[in-house]
Amino acid sequence: MFPLTRYSYHTLSVFEYFVLHLSPSALQHLLDWMDPNSLVLLSRTCKTLHGAYTDYARTVWNPAKIYGRWFARPWFFRRMLRRCGGIVSGSIVFNFFDRGRRKRNVMHIFLRSAGADELCGWFSEQGYASICGGYKPNDPLWHGLHCVKAVMPQGEEERGVLATYLFEKIVVGESGILEAFVAKLVVIDVDPVQYVLFDFDYTGEMNFLTADGAVSIFPYDTFVDRISYISWNGDKKFQATQASTRKHLRRGVTTISGGVTRMRSSFKTGQRRVLDEKCWFIPFQEKLFEFPGWPDSYYGECTPPIPFEVLYLSDIKHADLFRLKIAEPYIWRALLCDGLEGGEEDDDVELQ
């Protein structure tokens, strides 16, 4: 896995000499036990160890390891993600960043309407059966519910998800036991990255895979401090559900659900952009997307640098508690200035 002939042996330190003389399996085991922050520090120690880290990263953060369990041609699935402007989110993405050994058989894909029919058809061609959403593989004129809803006038409270399609495939697993692979295609009316930022409830779930790379919005808090905050949606009665809390605990992540007295020093508030220096971005090496006659993408670049704000809001009822909000730039600032609650409580709302 890590060929020693790649590295120069002049002026090696004792530590470098020790690391580079480990067997490939022992070296991978050692790196597996390091948290992401330690891995980054190791990669910056010297050029020699940076080379070892680079080889390790290409092995463990390889999208083919995930997609190869689902598709015979995992690179072609990435091609479909690029073409349809889709992203993959959920537990399999968390495990991807966390180098988790627990294999997940449910894939969540978020995409806009232009590529939905095409991606549904592609899943059907890969042997997946439609189990929800009404997809009809034998009807060449089929158009899903998302097409109808995409052109209907909707109130702001009704916007968001246009349609959901579920596909399932039963295969014989590595152990010889039948396994069910389920893909959930969620068709939305906004950019999928924007949907992750402004509609997901937990900062620990704001991780996704695009065709070109993997992105984590709050990597230090999620994968080093193992903390997930709730992005407040304006509902004062909102509480973390027990199911979500248990799911996070299985990942070794603590959910902060009732407001906080202070944020950790690693958590930076203020204006940000996707792919800024606070994000964790893992670029995928292979660029297998050049197909003559095929449009590269219906919606442009895979990971647009969408701006957002991390707001630190004082609680209206409890002055010593604070809530978090991942918001579109300036919109919530305007709402706070006008007063979220109205009446006499307006003066109690503060933006830190």
Residue 296, CB-side half-sphere exposure with 13 Å CA sphere: 9
Give the Cα separation of 58 and 53 in Å (integer): 9
Asked if pLDDT for residue 4 goes beyond 50, the answer is no
Q: CA geometry: angle at 209 spanning 222 and 327, to 5°?
A: 60
Tell me the average pLDDT across 39-54: 85
Q: Are 130 and 165 in contact (CB under 8 A)?
A: yes
Mention every residue, 6+ apart, whose C-beta is less than 8 A from residue 19: 27, 30, 49, 52
Cβ atoms < 10 Å from Cβ of 287: 12
Closest by CA to 304, choosing from 196, 150, 159, 219, is 196
Other C-beta atoms closer than 10 Å to the C-beta of 184 total 17
pLDDT in tens, 292-316: 555 578 888 888 999 999 887 765 5
Q: What residues contact 61, with CB distance under 8 A and at least 6 apart?
A: 96, 97, 99, 214, 282
Query: Quick one: angle between helices 74-84 and 116-125, nearest 10?
Result: 160
236 close to 316: Cβ distance less than 8 angstroms: yes
Phi and psi, residue 202, nearest 5°:
-125, 135
Question: Which range is least confidently modeled, 54-63, 69-78, 144-153, 249-258?
Answer: 144-153
pLDDT reading at 55 higher than 50:
yes
- How far apart CA 202 and CA 199 sit, in angstroms, is 9
- Please give the share of the chain, as a percent, with pLDDT higher than 70: 72
Residue 237 has pLDDT above 60, yes or no: no
Considering only CA atoms, which of 210, 209, 180 is closest in space to residue 105?
A: 180
Which tens digit of pLDDT belongs to each residue from 80-105? 999 999 999 999 999 999 997 677 78
Position 235 pLDDT exceeds 70 = no
CB 293 within 8 A of CB 234: no
> What's residue 234's pLDDT?
57
CA distance 319 to 304: 37
pLDDT at 137 over 90: no
Residue 11, both tokens: 């002026």
pLDDT value at position 184? 95
C-alpha pair distances (Å), 337 with each of 311, 327, 347: 14, 15, 9
Q: Residue 5 pLDDT > 50, yes or no?
A: no
Q: How far apart are CA 244 and CA 213, in angstroms?
A: 26
- pTM, 2 dp: 0.81
Percentage of the chain exceeding pLDDT 90: 33
